[in-house]
Every structure is written in structure tokens, then in C-alpha cells.
């Protein structure tokens, strides 16, 4: 499927112009991050375009469709079903768009909560989703600049900002996000090492 056809199909499936504009911005920023860090920009753009296929689903639909596909739902996800849109979205990318590239699917799965093991492609998509220009929060531009300079340092700073945001609102942090923060606090990781080869 060429990029124009992909964009048209994603727009139709999202059924929301605001969400479509978001995924386009994520795909564009993922492409730019990828080029800056030697990651395949086509894979980054594809993951960016498909990362939110299930984002507008209700909590009930997320739980139901996850169960139908045999996805194991953890306690955090049961309390916060919205985060299931990432893992379910990867399944929809496979089913509806024929995506079999495990690296692309991994990036879609991890774009919301992150994980202790993140590939450079995972990092690119996570950061692009977190830092795309449509999210006008204080410090976004500085985080984006840091992410262009060093993916791991960008991950550490962006994860820290996300957890500060959650704590300030009395919201629960996912175990996966806390595990990711622990990983990026390791100095060997923030110098550019990776533990996930996909």
C-alpha cells in the first residue's frame, strides 16, 4: 500500500479529524527522529501512522476486543483500559494493514507505556507520540531538541516529565513505565546502549 492510500485508509478508520492530524504529526516527527538516529524512516513513519488505530475505542470495546484476541490484560490495564489501545492497535495493524514487521508492531505496542526493553524504533515512535507539536506543554521543544541529540537521554527526560505529570494529578503510573524509567536511569543506557535489537 502506497503512502497516499495508507493515509486515506487510516483517516477512514480513525473517524476523527483531530486524531488523524495527530497521527500524521507523529509519523512526520518519527521520520525525522529516525533519520537523525540511523533508524529506518519508512518503518518509523508506518508505525507512527498506525499507532492510534484503537485510540478512540471505548473502555468496554478495548477490553472486549483484547479478550477476543487472547491478549492477557494486567491489573493496571483493567483499571486503565485506555492504555490497551496500544497493544490492540498493533493487532489491528497486523489484521487490517497486513503489517508483519515485528519491529513496527513492537513500536505500536510500546508507544503509550514504554517498556524496560526498547529498540531504537520503539524509542523513536514513543518520543514522536509524546513530543509531536500538537502537544503544547511547557518544555516540549526542549525535550524534542534533546531527543534529536540523543534518543536515550530523550527517553529519560520524557519519561521523567510524564511521571511528574501523572504524580501532579494523583494518577497511577504503569509498571511498564516505571520499569522503563529505571532502565533509562542506567548510565550505560543513556550513553546510547540498547538491549532490544528489533
Per-residue cell: 103: 519491529
Is the domain defined by 3-190 classed in CATH 1.10.3210.10?
yes
Q: Find all residues with CB under 8 Å of 195, minimum gap 6, and list them.
A: 117, 183, 189
Sign of CA dihedral 33, 35, 38, 41: positive
What is the pTM for the complete model shown? 0.92
Let me know how long the chain is: 198
Q: Is 198 helix (H, G, I), strand (E, B) or coil?
A: coil
Domain ranges within the chain, ordered by starting residue: 3-190
175-191 pLDDT, tens digit per residue, is 999 999 999 998 676 55
Q: Decide if pLDDT at 2 tops 80.
A: no
Question: Residue 4: its pLDDT value, please?
Answer: 77
Radius of gyration of the chain measured on its C-alpha atoms: 16
Question: How remote is the C-alpha of 114 from its chain's centroid?
Answer: 7
13-68 pLDDT, tens digit per residue, is 877 788 899 999 999 999 999 999 999 999 999 999 999 999 999 999 999 999 99
Residue with cell 499507532: 51
Residue with cell 484503537: 54
Q: Decide if pLDDT at 196 tops 80.
A: no
Mean pLDDT of the chain: 92
Amino acid at each position: 500500500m502506497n503512502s497516499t492510500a495508507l493515509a486515506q485508509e487510516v483517516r477512514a478508520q480513525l473517524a476523527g479529524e483531530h486524531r488523524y492530524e495527530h497521527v500524521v504529526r507523529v509519523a512526520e516527527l518519527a521520520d525525522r527522529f529516525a533519520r537523525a538516529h540511523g533508524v529506518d524512516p519508512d518503518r518509523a513513519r508506518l508505525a507512527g501512522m498506525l499507532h492510534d488505530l484503537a485510540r478512540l475505542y471505548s473502555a468496554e470495546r478495548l477490553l472486549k476486543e483484547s479478550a477476543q484476541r487472547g491478549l492477557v490484560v494486567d491489573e493496571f490495564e483493567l483499571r486503565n483500559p485506555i492504555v490497551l489501545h496500544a497493544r490492540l492497535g498493533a493487532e489491528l495493524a497486523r489484521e487490517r494493514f497486513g503489517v508483519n514487521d515485528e519491529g513496527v508492531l513492537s513500536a505500536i505496542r510500546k508507544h503509550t507505556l514504554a517498556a524496560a526493553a526498547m529498540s531504537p524504533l520503539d524509542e523513536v515512535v514513543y518520543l514522536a507520540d509524546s513530543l509531536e507539536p500538537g502537544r503544547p506543554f511547557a518544555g516540549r521543544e526542549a525535550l524534542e531538541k534533546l531527543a534529536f541529540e540523543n534518543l536515550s537521554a530523550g527517553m529519560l527526560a520524557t519519561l521523567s516529565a510524564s511521571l511528574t505529570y501523572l504524580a501532579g494529578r494523583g494518577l497511577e503510573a504503569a509498571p511498564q513505565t516505571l520499569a522503563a524509567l529505571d532502565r533509562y536511569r542506567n548510565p550505560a543506557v543513556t550513553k546510547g546502549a540498547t538491549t532490544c535489537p528489533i
